[in-house]
Amino acid sequence: MSGTAETQTLLTRADALANTLPLELANSFLLGANDPNSYKHQYANLYFVRLAKLRKVTIERANQQWMSHPGNPTFIPRLLGVVKGKFCWVVGTVYKEMPLKDNVLNDLAKEHGIAPPPPRIKFHSDDDQVFLEDESGRIVVVGEFLKGLNLVTGIVVAFLGMEKASGDFEAMDICYPGAAPYANAANGEPKSMEVDTSDEWIAFVSGLNVGPPSAPSDLRINLLVEYLLGETGDEGDQRHASRISRLVIAGDSFAPISYDDPDTAVDAKMTVPGEIAPVTTKRAAKKYRYESGSFSAHPTQSLSGHLTELSRSMVVHLVPGASDPSGITLPQQPLPRAMFGEAKNYESFHVETNPCWIGAGICHILGNGGQPLDDAFRYIKSTDRLGLACEMLKWRHMAPSAPDTLWCYPFFSADPFIMANTPHIYFIGNQPRFETTIVEQENGQKTRVLLLPKFIDSGEVILVNPATLEVKSVQMNSDWDDMDGL
């Protein structure tokens, strides 16, 4: 009996930390009464609001950064007030003119069934031009200094330099808004990075891609659920699983729906970096352009069953992604609870927006399904996704390319994608591989940045201790003796 009691104590599920997230953060991505569902507004308002919100902090940081500069630069408040040959610094919103960038003709081609040009991985080229904009106008920014920067349309920055005789502004240095303070800075920050196995652990996973019966993801998802519930693995696996009190599913829970032409499908095949060559294959014709036998309720039923099992044991946060039925514009709104069977009856089951804030004690978590990083990544020369994610913290913006090339709601008086507060954990779902780092700010704030891999490809679940920001990766293998991670 003593052995049984000992095992029961060992497998007791850790209690989830209380949610202390400020209400303004928790609801910041919901479209409610304050943001009527209307698309009549111009997207220019979003850029004006973004610049207005970030201008003050950028000016403060730039002033500190350049106040002791030997050239004694002057701040010019309006871009069109720059004087030729005068050493100065200016603040504005970056716009990149990129010849290879997608245009609206591609969207129209898709709507009318016309085959668009093959997609590209990168739109960066040597012919790109950088502009800086404010309410007064736009100036061209040039200089060798720019080549080492990751600049994306929509970020607010300050440039130090002077206007040349040609009218171009030659930049010599740059200043960003910098990371915002914690929302709970007065209450302290996470403890040291020493591992405390008595603390709560949070599991992160993305890209489940639940599809039709016998889909390749089914076996791994079953293993994942069994692992989280402590129903498989050895004693050590079960002991660690019992410390997991919260699961965050970061987008693409459902497999994407194919919209191939009924007669012809175009598959993408990589040829050289940055270029895609189409490979055309014949498909069987569908009567009335619809394959009546193609619908399957299995994805919803299967995911609902897993969520119900998990919600009985732990807190579950379901974040929508690009392939989920939640619209395409950001912020994506929560998936309807009614979709998920018995899971909807559990208070521990939370349907979130994308992006979303999640609270676990004093640890505040911010993340998204991956679309903002994927989109911004196409417009920079660097291939370092993790580095780009870290730069978003100092930009104070998680989706700068919205609304230019990333579809979003036309907010009129606010830009919810501004990081008014820095999270303790910043996760981005559906990335090619797992990457992580700790970003430490000048004031000592630390943020754990997580790039979550697609579960359908990697079989990985990422565990984070919110008290220490310690991180572990566990890979779901059919042979538990070969299981990596814990």
Find the range with the poorest average confidence among 89-93, 196-200, 311-315. Answer: 196-200
Band the pLDDT of 270: cuts 50, 70, 90: very low
pLDDT of 10 reads 47
Closest CA to 51 of 82, 97, 91: 91
Band the pLDDT of 232: cuts 50, 70, 90: confident
Rounded CA separation 386/436 (Å): 7
Band the pLDDT of 95: cuts 50, 70, 90: very high
Q: Which two tokens stand for residue 316?
A: 């579950």
Q: Which two tokens stand for residue 260?
A: 């191939």
Q: What is the mean pLDDT of the chain?
A: 83
pLDDT of 7 reads 46
pLDDT of 240 reads 82
Size of the chain, expressed as the number of residues it contains: 486
pLDDT of 124 reads 85
Statement: residue 219 has pLDDT above 70: yes
pLDDT of 245 reads 92
Statement: residue 457 has pLDDT above 80: yes
pLDDT of 235 reads 80
Over residues 349-378, the mean pLDDT reads 95
Closest CA to 486 of 467, 477, 470, 473: 473
Q: Which two tokens stand for residue 12?
A: 């007791």
Tokens 């100092």 -> residue: 394
pLDDT of 24 reads 80
Closest CA to 229 of 297, 305, 302: 305
Closest CA to 89 of 16, 170, 20, 158: 158
What's the fold here for domain 44-175? Answer: OB fold (Dihydrolipoamide Acetyltransferase, E2P) (2.40.50)
Band the pLDDT of 39: cuts 50, 70, 90: confident
Please report, for the chain, the start and end positions of each structural domain, with discontinuous segments joined by +.
2-30+180-482, 44-175
Which range in 8-22, 93-107, 267-281, 410-424 is most confidently predicted, on average pLDDT? 410-424
Statement: residue 160 has pLDDT above 60: yes
Whether a cis peptide bond, with omega within 30° of 0, leads into 403 is: yes
Over residues 106-158, the pLDDT tens digits come to 666 666 666 666 777 888 888 899 999 999 999 999 999 999 899 999 999 99
pLDDT of 135 reads 94
Statement: residue 483 has pLDDT above 60: no
pLDDT of 127 reads 87
Band the pLDDT of 289: cuts 50, 70, 90: very low
Band the pLDDT of 16: cuts 50, 70, 90: low
Domain 2-30+180-482 has CATH 3.30.230.10: no
Statement: residue 248 has pLDDT above 90: yes
Residue scoring higher pLDDT (199 or 316):
316
Residue scoring higher pLDDT (286 or 376):
376
Over residues 68-97, the mean pLDDT reads 95
Statement: residue 314 has pLDDT above 50: yes
Over residues 428-450, the mean pLDDT reads 94
pLDDT of 231 reads 85
Residue scoring higher pLDDT (455 or 31):
455
Percent of the chain with pLDDT over 70: 77
Band the pLDDT of 442: cuts 50, 70, 90: confident
Strands 156-163, 276-282: pairing kind: unpaired
- Beta-bridge mates of residue 206: 454
Range 117-143 burial, b when 16+ CB lie within 10 A, else e:
eeeeebbbeeebebbbbbeeeebbbbb
Residue scoring higher pLDDT (14 or 229):
229
Statement: residue 424 has pLDDT above 90: yes
pLDDT of 104 reads 61
Statement: residue 277 has pLDDT above 60: no
Band the pLDDT of 281: cuts 50, 70, 90: very low
Over residues 358-387, the mean pLDDT reads 94
Over residues 295-310, the mean pLDDT reads 86
pLDDT of 184 reads 63
pLDDT of 106 reads 65
Q: Where are the beta strands (DSSP E) in 98-243?
A: 129-134, 137-142, 156-163, 169-175, 201-205
What is the DSSP code string of 27-73? TTT---TTS-S---S-THHHHHHHHHHHHHHHHHHHHHHHTT-TT--
Instruction: Please say whether the beta carbons of 366 and 419 come within 8 A.
Output: yes
pLDDT of 187 reads 45
Over residues 237-262, the mean pLDDT reads 81
Residue scoring higher pLDDT (442 or 54):
54
